[in-house]
């Protein structure tokens, strides 16, 4: 692969990102190009005293202190790449702002990267409230989608807010990367980063390439990876079908990520501008060499993607700063791995019985753990889990790589809750599926019975609760009907036919939870996934003391649904499934009355097709006092409450 002579690498590759933030701990994630030597400090300032800043830290700890303890705070993933998760045990006071800085062997991060600080501030800070009353949320951020990045737009709003006005937390509900839909220029940047950081190589079984270096140099590596992705011979298996059926069926898989190094490099490039800046990634000779080797038609596609990526990169400085200030939580969805991930039991069977497919999914889970999952609730990972991570980080052999992946496949606690009021329950709707026993090719339920029972235990005797489900629990009925029809014809993968109502067992169990007498009075459900935004008010038809259920969906950060298809679906849903429509009695939600909120100045439409970030404010009872979205153009759209008729 062609190499450019590049300037010295930046110390900070990505981050810092404020992750878990509770009354007794704050967690900071970051990635660096060399091991850190120094300490991390916390300073407090009362939100009522905006102008003063305490100069003496009330908490200071050496970065090296916990490196080799039972719960390590760093792992190496390349010769010049380390991932850190700094867990700072400290008693935090509600409604207080806490400045922090990481003093490195070169200088404090705030001095090395002054763009991390807001204007007039010497250090980055976070606000601890202990509440979840004001939330930014959403999902689906595709770097080369032609629309603007709504995260960049909302980062400008956060910068203009006074410190005590900023959100309690930021919830990313899936598709933080698009592993199955990668632009050619992004893949070229990924490969340059892999080379510069020395991200670990790996070997592959039953593939057209023996190792990751051979993959990067393969003639089909750019815009031809459909030819490299694994197939499955379904003969003599429980699955129906002939030889060599594709496992990864995404329509945009020409540059699908495969190696762990590719996943890791993409995370670094979507969260931080520092590698783009220091390596001049969009202007390098490496880019030109690859571009000139492509057919003319593909060169045109490259140029379009390059323009979108150039715009994406220029917003990363503000986004990096925002993530350094807001407590941020995450959960995976399909595109963090691949479009079909665990859609049916048949798909799972094929993927688990083909070594390359199993490795790709495992590499995606490794990327998710290092860059997302570890920071959500770090105490959930025990010594046995860390042992396999240490093995891989210290000696990335094929055996250690496989053991790490096997451990990730066995892990059953990706879901978590936050210590906030209201409690936020973040669901794993990808690895705890309720598989169809009658037909392996029917969509699986998004959660199995055991997982749903755990959800019920988490919400019993709560007055108010926030539930985060990557896919909407209560979606657009007309679209779900289309998915059901395609499933009936045996084509669930064609329409991504996964929704909560697609599987009778999970649908009926979930609805029974909502109707249980000891569950919360007020539910707020946050979702993304679908590339459009909407809001519902939901009540039980047969009970005067019905719980209040609010379904609020925002998607995507940088993605949109095709038009005019969404407009047609919106009007068809309004026509066929109004609250009084008899067709509702043929759905699994017949016990519920769903009222659709209209967005601003829209009399007939309910769905908003725009890249956006959701904005939610709750009252003391846990009911939404404000439901809106901030579009990538800066327009603020409000979903006003419905008025019962």
Q: Of all residues in the chain, what percent carry a pLDDT higher than 70?
A: 92
pLDDT tens-digit readout, 120-133: 999 999 999 999 99
pLDDT tens-digit readout, 97-120: 999 999 999 999 999 999 999 999
Helix (H) or strand (E) holding 356: helix 355-368
Could you give the CA distance from residue 567 to residue 573 in angstroms, rounded to a whole number? 10
Q: What is the pLDDT of the chain when averaged over all its residues?
A: 90
Report the candidate in 291, 263, 277 with the shortest Cα–Cα distance to residue 188.
Answer: 291
Within 10 A of 31 (CB to CB), how many other CB atoms are there? 26
Alpha carbon 531 to its chain centroid, in Å, reads 14
Q: Which pLDDT band, with edges at 50, 70 and 90, does 455 fall under?
A: very high
Q: How far is it between the farthest Cα atoms of the chain?
A: 73
Label residue 531 left, alpha or beta by phi (over 0 means left) and psi (-120 to 50 means alpha). left
CB 442 within 8 A of CB 484: no
Within 10 A of 550 (CB to CB), how many other CB atoms are there? 24
Residue 347: partners with Cβ closer than 8 Å, 6 or more residues away: 247, 340, 493
Strand order in the sheet with 423-426: 416-418, 423-426, 464-468, 522-527, 548-553, 534-540, 592-596
| Helix 383-394 vs helix 398-410: crossing angle, to nearest 10 | 150
Residue 452, pLDDT > 90, answer: yes
Residue with tokens 């000779």: 285
Within 10 A of 57 (CB to CB), how many other CB atoms are there? 16
Q: Give residue 258's pLDDT.
A: 98
Query: Of 272-276, 285-289, 400-404, 488-492, which gets the smallest average pLDDT?
Result: 488-492
Q: Give residue 49's pLDDT.
A: 45
Q: Which pLDDT band, with edges at 50, 70 and 90, does 216 fall under?
A: very high
Could you give the CA distance from residue 201 to residue 192 in angstroms, rounded to a whole number? 14
Backbone angles phi, psi at 76, to 5 degrees: -90, 135
Burial class of residue 486 in the structure, from the number of CB atoms within 10 Å of its CB (0-12 exposed, 13-18 middle, 19+ buried): middle
pTM: 0.94
Residue 206: partners with Cβ closer than 8 Å, 6 or more residues away: 230, 354, 355, 356
Residue with tokens 């933030």: 21
pLDDT tens-digit readout, 555-606: 899 999 989 989 998 888 888 877 677 777 667 667 788 889 999 978 789 9
Q: Which residue has the higher pLDDT, 421 or 44?
A: 421
Could you give the CA distance from residue 280 to residue 276 in angstroms, rounded to a whole number? 5
Alpha carbon 6 to its chain centroid, in Å, reads 31
Report the candidate in 360, 343, 607 with the shortest Cα–Cα distance to residue 483.
Answer: 343
pLDDT tens-digit readout, 380-393: 999 999 999 999 99
Preceding amide of 564 cis, omega within 30:
yes
């Amino acid at each position: 692969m062609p190499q450019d002579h590049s300037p010295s690498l930046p110390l900070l590759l990505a981050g810092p990102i404020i992750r878990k933030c509770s009354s007794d701990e704050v967690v900071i994630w970051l990635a660096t190009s060399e091991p850190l030597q120094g300490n991390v400090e916390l300073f407090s300032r009362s939100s009522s005293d905006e102008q003063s800043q305490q100069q003496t830290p009330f908490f200071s700890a050496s970065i090296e202190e916990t490196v080799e303890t039972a719960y390590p705070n760093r792992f190496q993933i390349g010769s010049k790449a380390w991932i850190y998760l700094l867990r700072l045990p400290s008693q935090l006071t509600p409604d207080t702002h806490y400045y922090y800085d990481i003093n490195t062997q070169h200088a404090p991060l705030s001095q090395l990267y002054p763009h991390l600080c807001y204007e007039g501030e010497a250090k980055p800070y976070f606000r601890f409230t202990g509440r979840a009353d004001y939330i930014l949320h959403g999902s689906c951020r595709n770097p080369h989608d032609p629309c603007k990045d709504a995260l960049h737009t909302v980062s400008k709003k956060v910068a203009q807010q006074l410190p005590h006005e900023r959100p309690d937390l930021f919830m990313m509900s899936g598709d933080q990367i698009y592993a199955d839909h990668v632009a050619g220029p992004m893949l070229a940047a990924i490969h340059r980063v892999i080379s510069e950081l020395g991200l670990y190589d790996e070997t592959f079984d039953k593939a057209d390439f023996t190792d990751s270096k051979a993959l990067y140099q393969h003639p089909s590596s750019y815009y031809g990876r459909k030819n490299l992705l694994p197939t499955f011979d379904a003969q003599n298996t429980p699955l129906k079908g002939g030889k060599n059926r594709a496992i990864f069926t995404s329509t945009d898989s020409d540059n699908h990520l495969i190696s762990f190094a590719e996943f890791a490099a993409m995370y670094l490039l979507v969260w931080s501008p520092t590698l783009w800046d220091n390596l001049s990634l969009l202007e390098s000779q490496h880019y030109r060499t690859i571009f000139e080797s492509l057919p003319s038609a593909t060169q045109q596609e490259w140029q379009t993607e390059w323009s979108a990526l150039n715009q994406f990169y220029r917003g990363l400085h503000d986004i990096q700063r925002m993530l350094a200030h807001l407590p941020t939580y995450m959960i995976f969805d399909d595109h963090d791995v691949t479009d079909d991930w665990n859609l049916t039991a048949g798909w799972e069977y094929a993927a688990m019985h083909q070594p390359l497919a199993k490795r790709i999914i495992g590499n995606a889970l490794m990327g998710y753990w290092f860059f997302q999952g570890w920071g959500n609730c770090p105490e959930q990972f025990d010594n046995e889990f860390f042992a396999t991570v240490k093995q891989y980080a210290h000696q990335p052999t094929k055996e250690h790589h496989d053991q790490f992946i096997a451990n990730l496949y066995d892990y059953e606690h990706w879901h978590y809750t936050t210590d906030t009021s209201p409690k936020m329950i973040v669901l794993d709707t990808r690895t705890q599926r309720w598989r169809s026993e009658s037909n392996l090719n029917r969509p699986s339920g998004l959660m199995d019975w055991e997982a749903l029972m755990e959800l019920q235990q988490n919400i019993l005797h709560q007055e108010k609760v926030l539930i985060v489900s990557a896919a909407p629990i209560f979606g657009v009925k007309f679209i779900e009907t289309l998915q059901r029809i395609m499933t009936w014809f045996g084509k669930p993968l064609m329409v991504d036919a996964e929704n909560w109502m697609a599987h009778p067992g999970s649908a009926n169990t979930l609805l029974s939870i909502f109707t249980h007498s000891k569950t919360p009075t007020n539910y707020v459900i946050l979702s993304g996934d679908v590339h459009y935004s909407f809001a519902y008010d939901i009540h039980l038809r047969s009970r005067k003391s019905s719980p209040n259920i609010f379904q609020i969906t925002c998607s995507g950060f940088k993605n949109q649904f095709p038009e005019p298809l969404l407009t047609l679906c919106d009007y068809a849903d309004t026509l066929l499934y109004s609250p009084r429509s008899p067709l509702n009695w043929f759905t699994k939600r017949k016990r519920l009355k769903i009222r659709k909120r209209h967005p601003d100045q829209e009399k007939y439409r309910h769905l908003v097709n725009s890249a956006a970030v959701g904005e939610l404010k709750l009252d003391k009872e846990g009911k939404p006092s404000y439901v809106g979205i901030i579009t990538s153009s800066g327009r603020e759209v409000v979903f006003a409450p419905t008025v019962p008729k």
